[in-house]
Amino acid sequence: MCLAVPGRVTEVSERDGTRMAVMDFGGVVKDVCLEYLPDLGVGEYAIVHVGFALQRLDEESARRTLQLFEELGLLQEEFGDPWEAAGAAEEAGR
Amino acid sequence: MKYLEEFQNPELAAGLLADIRATVTRPWALMEVCGGQTHSIIRHAIDQLLPDEVELIHGPGCPVCVTPLEVIDRALAIAARPEVVFCSFGDMLRVPGTDRDLFRVRGEGGDVRVVYSPLDALRIARENPDREVVFFGIGFETTAPPNAMAVHVARKQGLRNFSMLVSHVRVPPAIEAIMNSPDCRVQGFLAAGHVCSVMGTDEYPALAERHRVPIVVTGFEPLDILEGIRRTVRQLERGEHTVDNAYPRAVRPEGNPAARAMLEDVFEVTDRAWRGIGVIPQSGWRLSPRYRDHDAEHRFDVSGITTREPAQCRSGEVLQGLLKPHECEAFGTTCTPRTPLGATMVSSEGACAAYYLYRRLGVPAAPQEASPVG
Amino acid sequence: MADTETLTGADARAAAAPDLSGWSCPLPLRDHPRVVMGHGGGGAMSAELVENLFAPAFGGPALAGLGDSAVLDLGGARLAFSTDSYVVRPLFFPGGSIGDLAVNGTVNDLAMSGARPAYLSCGFILEEGVEMAVVDRVARALGAAARAAGVEVATGDTKVVESGHGDGIYLNTAGIGLVPAGVDIRPQRAAPGDVVIVSGAIGLHGVAIMSVREGLEFGVEIQSDCAPLGGLVEAMLAVTPDLHVLRDPTRGGLAAALNEIAAAAGVGVVISERAVPVPPQVANACAVLGLDPMYVANEGKLVAFVPRREADAVLDAMRAHPLGAGAAVIGECVTEHPGMVVARTGFGGTRVVDLPMGEQLPRIC
C-alpha cells in the first residue's frame, strides 16, 4: 500500500504515448511513469510507488521538517535528556 | 538515498522522544493505519523507544491482510488456468486461500509471475498475445492510480488479452468502521502518508470531528513516525481532535488531482468485505462499467468456489485492535508464520507475525496496555 | 548436502509419492504435496525438505552434520566433500556467470570446513536447443574461475534434456579438499562469547542478479561479489586453527546463515545493525523493492564465529587479504535466547531476525 521512495528525475521522454522518466534513487536507476505528474522536470524529486511518480517531493518542506527535529534535539540537550536517563535506568535494571 | 536517509537518523530521534515523554501525562492508544508504517515500527523497533503510556495498535492497513478470502480464492482459480499468466505484487504470493496459495498454484504448473509494477503486466500482455494476462489489482489508494493507469492504457491500446482482478480498499471508511466498533480503544490515528499523497486530506476532517479523534498524516521513516506520534499525543493531551499533516514534504491538501481524476474514471465505489472484519460499506473500489472488458471477474467464470475461513482464525479482531495476537488460542500453536491460519500471520507487517517474533524473545512487543479511557 | 535446489523436468516427474506413514515429523511437508519454489530458497522450507524427506530416506552420520560440506575420515586423511547445483537465471549477470558460481560455490563450501579445495567434478545438464556459443562461454568462465581458485576439474558428465524443461543450462559441481589437523570448523562449535565477523559488505550478489531479472530491471553499479574464499580462510587459519564456525551466506543471506548456526549450536546471536556493512546502492535497491539486505544472497563473503581471545588477530589477518578488506565485527554469541538471532537497531531497540520462509519477494506494502 505504501512502500514509496523519493527519486530524482534525470531524463524525461514519451514512450508509446505515455510520459515516462528515468529516475535515480541514490544510484539505483529505474524507469518511472510520469502521467500523474506530467510537468515534473529533470532535477526534481518525487515519491515513487510501483513504478509511478505519485507526488512531488517538496525539498524546502523536507529541510524545514529536519530543522524542526534538530531544534527539538537542541531543546532537550539544553534542558536535560529524560529519554537517555530513562534508557540508562532500564539498562541498569536489565 | 536523499530525502530518505535523513529521516532515519537516530541522532534526531532523541529530541522527538524527549518531547513525547515531556508531553505525555496519561496512557493513550494510537493506531497506525498503514501496513508500511507497521513494518517500519517493527523493523526499527520504534515501539520499544516510546514511553509506556503510549501504546501503538497496529491497524488493518495491509492489503495482504484484508483482501477478502473470496477474492484470494478467485485469484487462485484464475491463476490455475492454463491459458492465464497471473501477475501479482510479491506481497500476495503467500497469502493463504481456503486450501492453497499462489506459490502452490505455481508449483502445480500455474504461470504466476511477480511484478514490480502493473506496467510490467501490460508489457507481458503485449509480448504474449496468445495468453490471457491477468493482473491482481489490490491495495489502498496509493496503489489504485498505478493500477488504474494499466487498465486505462490497456483499453486505449486495445490490449484485449489484459484484464485485472480488482480488490481495492479505502482508508476513511475503515477508520469509520473501527471507531464505530463498540470495543474500540483507539484514541488517535496516524493516517497513511502515501494514501494522502494521492487523495489529499479532505476526507479526514469529518471523521476527526464526528469521532473526536486527532488524525495526523504520518510518513514511514522512523523519524516521520515519531513525529506523527508526537503530534498526536500533543493533541490528545490538549483535548484537540483535528487533522494535522506531519508529512508535508509528500502530502498536499489537494493530493494529486490527475490521479484522483483517473480514479474517478476507472473505478467506482463499492461495498467491500475486509478479511476478518466483514463488509464495510463503500469501502472499496471496483472497475467501472466502462472497463468491463478488462475486468477479470467478468472475463473468467470462477463460480463453484467454496470459501471457508479456518474457524480458529481471529485475524479480524486483531486487525481492529480488539485482540492482541498472543490472546488468540491458535497463536503460536496451530498458527505460526510457517503454518499461518490467517493473513495477519503471513504478512511481514501483520500484527500476529510481529508478535510471534517478539514473543519468542520474551520482549514485550508493545508497552503496557493503556488503561481504559475514563 | 545441506541445502537443496528445486528439481525439474524428468527428475521431478520420476519422483514417486513418499510414504508418509513412517514420518516422525510430518509437519509441514504434508501441507505441500508438490514441490514449490520455496523448497529451493535456502530458508525454513528447504531445511524441512532435507530433514523430513531426504535425511530419513538416505541420510547417515555424515549427512547429519548438515554443514556446508561433510568432513570425512578416509584412509587416515580428513577430507571435506561438498556438492551444489546451480540453476540461476540469467546465466550471465553483472560480475559473473553460472560458470563462476559453479566453481566458487563449491570451493567456498569446502573452505567453510577449513579445507583447502583441491578437485571438482562438474555435471552439465543442457536444454536441447541451447546455443553452443552459450555453452562455450559458460565453460570458459568455469575454467577461468577454477584456475583463479586454484582447483582442477577432474571429472564430469553431460546430459541433454528436452527443450522447455530448463533455463538452458543447469550445473552441478562437487568438490574435495583436505582439512588440516587440529581444525574442527562446524556450526555446532559456536559458543557464547564468540565474536561474529563478516568478511565484507553484504547484498551485492543478490542485488546484481535482481537488477537484470525480468520485471525488476534497474540500473545499478553493482557487481556480484562471486569469489573463491580458500585463500582468505587460509590466512585466517594461519592466525589460529581454532576457528569455530565459518559460513558463506548465500541464499537467504546473512539472516539464514546466522539462524542456522544459532540453531545448530543452541546459542543466541546478537548483532548490531549499524555494524553490518551494506553498500549504499544495495541499501537503496532494497529500499526501492522493499527488501531487507540481511536476506540478500552473497557469493564471495563469509561469516566467522571466532573465540574472543583470537578475534582481533583474525580480523587483522582478514583485512590484510584482498577479499577481507572490508571485514567487520558485527556481533557476538550469547547464552540468552538460544537458537535465535537478535539485532539491535540503529535506534537502540531490538528486533528478531528470523529465518527466511522462502524466497524474499519485492513488496509494495
Which tens digit of pLDDT belongs to each residue from C176-221? 999 999 999 999 999 999 999 999 999 999 999 988 887 677 888 8
Show the cell assigned to C175: 568438490
Q: Are B230 and B19 in contact (CB under 8 A)?
A: yes
Name which of B106-120, C47-61, C256-270, C304-318 the model is least confident about.
C47-61
pLDDT of residue B282: 96
Q: Are B127 and C214 in contact (CB under 8 A)?
A: no
**How much is the mean pLDDT over chain B?**
90
CB atoms within 10 A of CB B27: 18
Q: Which of A2, A26, A50 sits opposite C280 (nearest CB)?
A: A26
Query: pTM surpassing 0.80?
Result: yes
C219 and chain A: CB distance < 8 Å anywhere? yes
Q: How far does B89 lie from chain A, in Å, by closest CA? A: 9
pLDDT of residue C42: 63
Answer whether residue B362 shows pLDDT above 70: no
For residue C15, name the pLDDT band (cuts at 50, 70, 90).
very low
Cα nearest neighbour of A31 on chain C:
C218
pLDDT of residue A57: 98
The 3-state DSSP class for residue B131 equals coil
Show the cell assigned to C178: 583436505
Cα nearest neighbour of B13 on chain C:
C347
The C-alpha torsion from B281 through B284 and B290 to B291, rounded to 10°, is -150
Give Cα C268 to chain centroid, integer Å. 21
Please compute the mean of the pLDDT values over residues C255-273 and round it to a whole number.
Answer: 96
**How much is the mean pLDDT over chain C?**
87
Please compute the mean of the pLDDT values over residues B139-149 and round it to a whole number.
Answer: 96
Answer whether residue A90 shows pLDDT above 70: no
Is C218–A50 a contact, with Cβ atoms under 8 angstroms apart? no
Which of the 8 DSSP states describes residue C66? -
pLDDT in tens, A58-89: 999 999 999 999 999 887 777 655 555 555 55
Name which of B20-34, B98-112, C248-262 the model is least confident about.
B98-112
pLDDT of residue C26: 33
Show the cell assigned to B182: 463498540
Q: Which of C340, C362, C365 sits opposite B349 (nearest CB)?
A: C365
Cα nearest neighbour of A49 on chain C:
C364
Using a pLDDT cut of 90, give the percent of chain B over it. Answer: 66
State how far the Cα of C303 lies from the Cα of C301, in Å rounded to an integer.
7
pLDDT in tens, C138-161: 999 999 999 999 999 999 999 999
Task: List subunits contacting chain A, requiring 3 or more Cβ pairs under 8 Å.
Answer: B, C
Q: Which of B14, B119, B140 sits opposite A73 (nearest CB)?
A: B14
pLDDT of residue B292: 95
Show the cell assigned to C23: 514420518
Q: How far does C342 lie from chain B, in Å, by closest CA? A: 8
Which of the pair, B100 or B241, is modelled with greater confidence?
Answer: B241
Name which of A28-37, C205-214, C258-267 the model is least confident about.
C205-214
Please compute the mean of the pLDDT values over residues C1-27 and round it to a whole number.
Answer: 39
pLDDT in tens, B216-269: 999 999 999 999 999 999 999 999 999 999 999 999 999 999 999 999 999 999
Chain A residue numbers with beta carbons less than 8 Å from the beta carbon of C206 are none
Q: Which helix (H) or strand (E) holds B60?
A: strand B54-61
pLDDT in tens, B303-341: 777 777 778 888 878 877 788 888 899 998 889 887 888
Chain B residue numbers with beta carbons less than 8 Å from the beta carbon of C38 are 103
Is C219–A3 a contact, with Cβ atoms under 8 angstroms apart? no
pLDDT of residue B242: 98
pLDDT in tens, C92-142: 999 999 999 999 999 999 999 999 999 999 999 999 989 899 999 999 999
pLDDT in tens, B190-209: 999 999 999 999 999 999 99
Residue from C284, C289, C365 whose CB has the most chain A CBs within 10 Å, to mutate: C284
Is B347–C365 a contact, with Cβ atoms under 8 angstroms apart? yes
Show the cell assigned to A44: 526534481
Answer whether residue C17 shows pLDDT above 60: no
C214 and chain A: CB distance < 8 Å anywhere? no
Q: Beta-strand (E) ranges in chain C?
A: 70-74, 77-86, 92-93, 96-97, 116-127, 152-161, 169-178, 195-198, 245-247, 268-272, 303-306, 328-334, 341-344, 350-352
Is A2–B118 a contact, with Cβ atoms under 8 angstroms apart? no
Answer whether residue C4 shows pLDDT above 70: no
Is B49–C349 a contact, with Cβ atoms under 8 angstroms apart? yes
Answer whether residue B121 shows pLDDT above 50: yes
CB atoms within 10 A of CB B277: 22
Residue from A28, A32, A83 whose CB has the most chain C CBs within 10 Å, to mutate: A28
